[in-house]
Amino acid sequence: MNRSLVGLYRLASVMGALLLSIVLSGTAYADAPSPAVSGPISGAPLLFGHTSFDLATVGYSQSEFFIEGTAFAYSPLSPLAADGKWAVSTSWQAAYKTRIVVNRPIDAGKFNGTVIVEWLNVSGGADASPDWVHAHNELIRSGYAWIGVSAQFVGVNQLKSLGPPAPGDPVRYASLVHPGDSYSYDIFSQAGQAIRDSVGTILDGLRVKRLIAVGESQSAGRLVTYINAAHPQVKVYDGFLVHSRSTGGAPLTQAPLPVVPTPAPSFIRNDLKVPVLVFQTENDTGGLLARQDDSSLYRLWEVAGTAHFDLYGLRIGATDVGEHDSFTEWFDSMLNPPSQPSPSFTCGSPINTGPQTFVLRAAIAHLNRWVAYRLPPPKAPRFETVSIQPIQYALDANGNVRGGIRTPAVDAPVAKLNGLGQSGVSFCFLFGTTVPLTQDQLTALYGTHGRFVLAWSRATLGAVKEGFVLPHDGINLLIVGAQSDILR
């Protein structure tokens, strides 16, 4: 074989290996502009609705960076269809400067290679991190890095102001500029691009293998639109967790630009090359109209006994450092649920104390394996409904919804846990309800403490076996059931 043919053969081999690696990784990176990065910014960042314990006690550090550049808004090239296959192009552009908050393992050897990038939620008028709060125990024990992105105008504006709803820091954040939420999608893309291009600065050189985007509630609506419109343009993220979506997505553009709403329903486009897991609670009734069949790159998890937000997210999670006491506190909350989720307001009845956190931790773990190794999560049963419009769930004899992902909280119940039925002011309608079972009801169900423990243990082991509760959490759930005072 002559030298020319040998050279061509070697080139073909290299190109073949490169193409194979792209196919196996599932993502070809990345066309988003790379913003300028400054920081870390001295002092502690402001985050509302975040964990309150010192991250150093669990081997993590927190830092903050500013990113800035020119962001683009998108215009539709044709009417936006319900199937999510939206053709768009960049149109308007504007300067921006925002911030990202980084929680990362102090020991680089404990980093698992995955960065969870959360679209910070601004429904309360300030940046909050509901997915960090609900899933941080799994993120910390498995070595993820987490980065929260101030992608929306409300969050940035609050940081620059003295409040309400909470005081910002006008000095620290004086230089931040947000041109409006029409540009939020590209800002979120550029945040991901910054993580890849400036990893030495943002993550002190950690070897990043995967970026997974997550967002809850309003942020989930943003992610629906991001997945259908922005992601095909830039391919920055390797997977998505859409947590508590509604029927449609957020507007593609909004005032002061021309308003381009998205269809209701808006389905997740089925031509993506990256996995999407949609995680829904009983409260998320709008999402019932946007249900899709599972596929090789799509999963829908509907979780029984859960509300859009619950006591763990509002209280327990803030101080939970992963010790067994937090499981006991959670279990006891089902027996003594509070009606006051915040010092500033009280709901009409005790709020939901359900098992969302445990299933969300499993969702994160499965999604990461799906992205890394193409091992899909288990398929989940759907909620059973009598009617979707108006919504009426099918309930079991204990008042808990039938179908969906099952946990011991609903299959060996000590309370009726619902996502609907709450009354009161402010965000109470999102918090669901808890009605503890009476002693007579518990006796009729189980008879003795031992029989309760047996039922609780069977339900826990079943949830672990099916993949909806992680083994570490399953062990602690077994212990709290056995140690409980039920029917003693």
Number of independent structural domains in the chain: 2
In a domain, 4, yes or no: no
In a domain, 17, yes or no: no
Are the C-beta atoms of 305 and 411 separated by less than 8 Å? Answer: no
Q: Which residue segment(s) compose the domain that 420 sits in?
A: 391-483
437: left (phi over 0), alpha (psi -120 to 50) or beta: beta
In a domain, 121, yes or no: yes
As a whole number of angstroms, the distance between CA 251 and CA 261 comes to 4
| Residue 12: per-residue pLDDT | 39
In a shared domain, residues 415 and 266: no
In a shared domain, residues 254 and 397: no
pLDDT per position as a tens digit, 286-319: 999 999 999 999 999 999 999 999 999 999 999 9
* Residue 458 confidence (pLDDT) above 50: yes
* Residue 350 confidence (pLDDT) above 50: yes
Contacts of residue 319, Cβ cutoff 8 Å, sequence gap at least 6: 51, 52, 53
In a domain, 155, yes or no: yes
As a whole number of angstroms, the distance between CA 477 and CA 271 comes to 39
Q: Which of 238, 259, 274 is the last residue of a domain?
A: 274
> Taking residues 445-463, what's their average pLDDT?
98
Task: Enter the tokens of residue 108.
Answer: 């680089």
DSSP at 80:
P
As a whole number of angstroms, the distance between CA 169 and CA 157 comes to 10
Of residues 123 and 18, more confidently modeled: 123
In a domain, 84, yes or no: yes
DSSP at 183:
G
Query: Which of 7-16, 188-197, 198-207 bottoms out in mean pLDDT, i.e. has the lowest?
Result: 7-16
As a whole number of angstroms, the distance between CA 406 and CA 467 comes to 11
Phi, psi angles (nearest 5°) of residue 4: -65, -45
Alpha-carbon distance values, 116 to 42, 129, 136, 330 (Å): 23, 12, 11, 25
In a domain, 466, yes or no: yes
Task: Enter the tokens of residue 420.
Answer: 């609907």
pLDDT per position as a tens digit, 380-396: 999 999 999 899 999 99
In a domain, 224, yes or no: yes
Q: Which of 254, 274, 294 is the last residue of a domain?
A: 274
Query: Mean pLDDT in the chain?
Result: 93
> Taking residues 424-436, what's their average pLDDT?
94
Are the C-beta atoms of 193 and 97 separated by less than 8 Å? Answer: no
> Taking residues 179-196, what's their average pLDDT?
98
Name the β-bridge partners of 280: 302
pLDDT per position as a tens digit, 135-150: 999 999 999 999 999 9
Q: Which of 274, 300, 334 is the last residue of a domain?
A: 274
As a residue count, the chain comes to: 488
| Segment holding 165, helix H or strand E | none
| Residue 30: per-residue pLDDT | 53
In a shared domain, residues 255 and 396: no
| Residue 469: per-residue pLDDT | 98
pLDDT per position as a tens digit, 2-39: 444 334 334 333 334 333 333 333 344 557 889 999 99
In a domain, 364, yes or no: no
Of residues 159 and 33, more confidently modeled: 159
As a whole number of angstroms, the distance between CA 267 and CA 419 comes to 23
pTM passes above 0.75:
yes
